[in-house]
Amino acid sequence: MADAIPTADHGATSSPTGPKSLQCQVVTPEKTAFAKTVDFVALPLYDGELGVLPGRAPLLGRLGFGELRIKTGDAVESYFVDGGFAQVRDDVVTVLTSRAVPAAKIEMNGTAALLDEAQKVRAATEAEAEEKSRNVARLRAMMHVSRKA
């Protein structure tokens, strides 16, 4: 088998049979949460989950809140992301999100208490009802991600 050859200037590698890895970077307003070389990325898009492998066609997508998974070899890491945008281009996956929390750092009891409080909120207007629904769904997604950790 031929040696891996660097592609573009993003650090992804390829061989004559095609790319073998992706660069995945997750950026929040405060910092770069992580930048890693991975084999696979699962993105929680607004309208469903999208799996990204090396060689994927370019894409720009709106993120919902949910689980971002990255796989390197047999290791899988999960993060809760709170909406944002994702770009896939030249074997680089860039995620811009307001929050990225490793699944292992989500405090289950605290999140359950917040969910209980959010469900008790009374909504007087349609806008308040939509906000309550979003908050409840976000907290449920967070709990779902933490259970997998």
Q: What is the pLDDT of residues 105-114, one digit of tens each?
A: 888 888 888 8
pLDDT of residue 72: 94
Nearest residue to 59 via CA among 96, 27, 91: 91
d(CA 107, CA 128): 26
More confident residue, 115 or 25: 25
Give bridge partners of residue 100 from the DSSP assignment: 81
Lowest mean pLDDT among 34-43, 52-61, 96-105, 109-118: 109-118
DSSP letter for 39, please: S
More confident residue, 2 or 21: 21
pLDDT of residue 142: 86
Token pair, residue 92, equals 């680089």
pLDDT of residue 2: 42
- Name the pTM for this structure: 0.77
More confident residue, 113 or 40: 40
Judged against a pLDDT cut of 60, whether residue 145 lies above it is answered with yes
pLDDT of residue 8: 44
pLDDT of residue 149: 63
